[in-house]
Structure formats: C-alpha cells, structure tokens
Chain A
Amino acid sequence: MAYYTALFEISGLNILLALSVFATLMVGQFSLAQVGFWSIGAFVTAILTTMHGMPLYSALIISSILCGFIGLLLGYPCLKIKGIYLTLATVAFAEVVRVFFNNLNYQIELGDRMIGPAGALGFRGVKVIAAWPEIYLVLFVIVLLFILLASSRLGMSINAVREDETAAAAVGINVTKIKVSMFMFGAAIAGAGGGLYASYSSYVLAENFSFHMALVSIFYVAVGGMYTFSGPIVGAVVLTLLPEVFRFAADYRMILYGVVVIIVVIVFPRGIVDEIRYRIEQRSLRHDTFSDNKTHNKNKKLPDEGIK
C-alpha cells in the first residue's frame, strides 16, 4: 500500500514540475530553468520550515513568491533572446543555481546537532510535513488557476502571443508583459513544487536537480501534449508510472522505458492528449462537411451569392 501511496505522491510532484514547464511553453518559450526554480523552492522551504520553524504553507508561499521574483529578473532579459538561445540561457541559470546550492554552507545548531545545507552533502533531516494531501491540495489550487486561465480573456491573449506575437501586439496585447508574467507563473509553480518535494523527501541534494531532471520535465510535456494543461498532467503521470510497470525487467527497465517513449512519440506526434483531441476534431470536421453538403442549398450564405 505504501508503495502505491508513494507513486501517487511522486506523480503529484512530477505533475507540478510538468505544469511549471508548461506555463512558460504557453507563450512559446522553451525553458529548462524550471529545475533551477525547483531547487530554489526546495532549499528555501527546507530552510524556513526546518531551521526557522515556519508552517508548511507559509514557507511554500514565500518560496513561490521568491521564485516568481527571480523569474522576473531572469525572464525580462531573456525576452530578447529566442529559440535555442533562450533554452541555453535557462540551462545556464539552472547550472548556476545547482553550483550555488552545492556550495552553500549555512547551518545552525538545533537541539544537539548542526542542521542546514552542508555544501555537496546536501540538506539532511528536513522536516517531513508533506504527504499526498498537501501535494494534491497545492496541485488542486494550481490546476484551478489553469482552468480559470483557460476560460478567461487573459488565456486567449496568452494563446494569441504563442501563435503570433506580431499579430498579438497589433490587437493591443502587451506581449512583453504576458511573456514575463507567464515566466514568473512557471517559476512560482516550480517554487511551490520544490518546497513540497523537500518537505516530502526529507533530504535535498543540489546534484539531484540536474540537467537530467530538466530533460525529463520537458519529456512530460512532449509526451502528454503542449496545447492544453491536461497534456502535461497526463504526460507526467504516464512517465512516472512507466518505469514501475517495467520493474520485472530489473536493470533493463530503462531500455524498455526508452522504447515505449519513442513509440508513444511516433504514435502521438502531438502528445497523447492533443493527438487524441486532434483526431476527434478531424472526425467531427469530416462529419460537418458531410452534413453541410446535405443542407448546402438551404444554409449556404457566402459572399459569392450575396453580392451581384
């Protein structure tokens, strides 16, 4: 039972990571910095809860806000660069964060021992105060925000920026503001997610938030689909559970994992959710065309009939 609970919890954490990547992808920015924000969130939350006795949710909110602010500082100059260069800059940021926490030595005496980040040894003995209820409460709030975003005019503006920045500006959308805000939003999600991770796992090591994790975070979105927020959720769950399914293969399971990922990407080139959505849409479109033909004479009102 504990095994399934753990899977459930890790899925939740991975969904948070995937959503944070998705937030920046929503405005067409491909960022690998989320791992850096995740790392900042993990350490800051761990320091606040374990060393300063702060309650979990206050610590998470502070981590989120801090990451959002750093997102602003990073996102604003990064607007000037595009495509692969932006990705490289965000990788550099994640590396800076990793090296920083790898060297951070800040301990205080608590009870009879020293506690706090100890350089490359990491932060041991973080207070464990998060399990699935906490993780899924935060996830619920964030998903709610995404739902709100999807149904709002702000969400439409975000989609417009993703599709065509020039046209978006021409209809009065402040492209800079939207891009930076979404970068901050993504950073804030990673901040909260990292905080939950630290409070869940009791041990935070900067080395864990490496380039590998950044790549996996992109996988979640690529496999699930990057057009609606349900994509990264599905992607994160599938890729979290997949290695578990292949447990029987012992040391070879990552090979099977790789094969399945390749197959999924070939079968669902738009990502699982978006591909299914697309197929359904195509089917109903075909149906539409068919029924249009039947009622052709009654309903058609195109300019070629209306004018002269």
Chain B
Amino acid sequence: MFEVTGLSKSFGGLKALENLDISVKSGEVMGLIGPNGSGKTTTINLITGLLKADSGKVQLDGKDLTNKAADIIAKLGTARTFQNLRIFSRQTVRDNIRVAQTTLCKSVFSKFVPFLTDEERAFRSETDALLNEFELSHVSHKRAESLSYGEKKRLEMARALALKPKILLLDEPAAGMNPLELDWLAETIVGLKKSGLAIILVEHHMKLVMKICDRITVLNFGNKIAEGNPKEITNNKDVITAYLGKDHTIA
C-alpha cells in the first residue's frame, strides 16, 4: 500500500501542490492527469526525493519515505521514469540495467568483484529476462545512445524495473510513441499491474489513461479536483471545466 497524505509544495509564492492525498494498492494503476503546470511531475519529484516537500507524508507499506534522499527512496522500493529521457547513454543497454541492480547486492563482493559471486548469476538471468521482456536483447551490447527513441523509452522502463520496486512511477511514458508502440505500452503496463506492482501513471494521452487506469486523480493548479474510475472522471464537470474552460457545452 502506497500512501501520500497532505503533500504540499510551494516555489516562492507559487503553490505547486496543495494537500494532495493519493493511495495506490499493489496491482492497481492510478492515473494522475491534469493540464500543464497542474503539479503532476512535481508530485512525482516530491515522492522520489528530487524535491523536498513543505509538508505532508509519503508512506510505502508503513515505511516513511517523506523527504528522504532520492537513492534511499529508490532502495526502499520506489522506481520511476523521467519525462525527458534520462538513460546512461554512453553505457551499453545491458549495463544500464545492471547498474540499477547494484542496490540489490547483498554482499559487498558483488560490488567489487561481481564475476566471483553467485549472486551475479541470478542478476544476469534477471537482466536477460528484462531485456527479453522489453525487446532489447538484440541491442543489449550497443551503447544506449545509439538506440531509437522508442527503444530508449523501453530501456528506461526496464531499468526502473531492475530495482524490483513495489511502486512504479511513470512520467509520460507514451510521449512520442507511435500507435503500435502505444499498444505495446498498454499491454506492458497491464502485465506489470497483474504481477502485483502498484503504478502511478502521469500521462496526457487520454485514450491510454482511460483504457488502463483503475482509478484516476485529476489535478488543477496544484489541487486535487477529482478522483474516481475512468467513467466517473470522463463525466465529471470540474474536470471538463479544467481541461476545456467554463463555457464549453457538451454536444
């Protein structure tokens, strides 16, 4: 169970986020939508420790994550992807995934002399499995910078999953994907959800959000204006106003 309560953040006089409550169970996809500047990415940055919250609490399975350092939050089971791709472009695809496993090393030897440990064999098969799942096996030896945009996006997701997280935060994974890649993305997210992962999905692509989210939270100017299942959200007056303006009448 992942819970955010009363999370607030302001930048100077601007209230980027006010009193946000979200909770996500394992095996559930929570959509986080809202117009540009509504505080979606701020929320993810607060949860993952890139920004410090002014007040509020973030908890994962009863463990407190609030305002911890980003690497500790990652170790405690929170993985994320970034809106603007952040992969290690000079390293190979395989190493991009391997580097994320380093935090899972139980023995010190795995960090210094990986080729001598049994643990490494398990990591290796996990890497292979992830490469397979994300259809990157054929480029595993290439430098990440030489990949296509779609492949880079998949790599970033694979790297996040290599941390074996309990909750996955996806920041606009569909941006720049073609329709076929979108289908692949939807299938993958549903698959991850079935495996028991909790997912928070920040996305502008409404078709995708409505298709795969169990519940949706809508933000506007840092405030939560609605929460509910996709059907409720589509028909919510406040949401329509936030996206389209007041005088809009539904045809």
Interface segment among B5-13, B98-106, B203-211, B222-230: the answer is: B98-106
Q: Are B70 and A170 in contact (CB under 8 A)?
A: yes
Q: Are A170 and B86 in contact (CB under 8 A)?
A: yes
Chain B residues lying within 8 Å of A307, measured Cβ to Cβ, are: 180, 183-184, 187
Interface size, chain A (Cβ < 8 Å):
32
Q: Are A171 and B100 in contact (CB under 8 A)?
A: yes
Chain A residues lying within 8 Å of B91, measured Cβ to Cβ, are: 156, 159-160, 163
Which of A153, A159, A166, A175 is in CB contact (< 8 Å) with B86? A166
Chain A residues lying within 8 Å of B175, measured Cβ to Cβ, are: none
Which of A167, A169, A173, A303 is in CB contact (< 8 Å) with B180? A303
Chain B residues lying within 8 Å of A81, measured Cβ to Cβ, are: none
Closest chain-B Cβ to A47's Cβ sits at a distance in Å of 33
Number of cross-chain contacts by CB at 8 Å: 113
Query: A153-B102, A157-B102, A160-B99 are contacts. A304–B138 as well, Cβ < 8 Å?
Result: no
Chain A residues lying within 8 Å of B183, measured Cβ to Cβ, are: 303, 307-308
- A172 lies within 8 A of chain B by Cβ: yes
How many Å lie between the Cα of A232 and that of B56 in the bound state?
49
Chain A residues lying within 8 Å of B100, measured Cβ to Cβ, are: 171-172
Residues 84-135 of B contacting A (Cβ, < 8 Å): 86-91, 95, 98-103, 105, 110-115, 135
Residues 144-178 of A contacting B (Cβ, < 8 Å): 148, 151-154, 156-157, 159-160, 163-164, 166-175
Q: Main SS of the interface on chain A?
A: helix
Interface centre among A156, A175, A301 (most CB of B within 10 A): A156
As a 0/1 sequence over residues 48 to 73 of chain B, the CB contacts with chain A under 8 angstroms (1 = contact) are: 11100000000000000000011100
- B166 lies within 8 A of chain A by Cβ: no
What bracket does the count of chain B residues touching chain A fall in? 35 or more
Closest chain-B Cβ to A230's Cβ sits at a distance in Å of 16
A interface residues, Cβ below 8 angstroms from B? 148, 151-154, 156-157, 159-160, 163-164, 166-175, 227, 281, 285, 299, 301-304, 306-308
B interface residues, Cβ below 8 angstroms from A? 48-50, 69-71, 74-75, 79-80, 82, 86-91, 95, 98-103, 105, 110-115, 135, 138, 143, 146, 150, 159-160, 162-163, 178, 180-181, 183-184, 187
Q: Offer 11 A-B interface pairs, CB within 8 angstroms, sorted by A.
A: A148-B113, A152-B111, A153-B98, A156-B102, A163-B91, A164-B86, A172-B74, A303-B180, A306-B184, A308-B180, A308-B183
What 16 additional pairs, Cβ within 8 angstroms, besides A159-B88, A167-B88, A171-B102? A148-B112, A153-B99, A153-B105, A154-B102, A156-B99, A156-B102, A157-B99, A159-B90, A160-B99, A169-B71, A170-B86, A171-B79, A171-B100, A171-B159, A172-B102, A227-B90
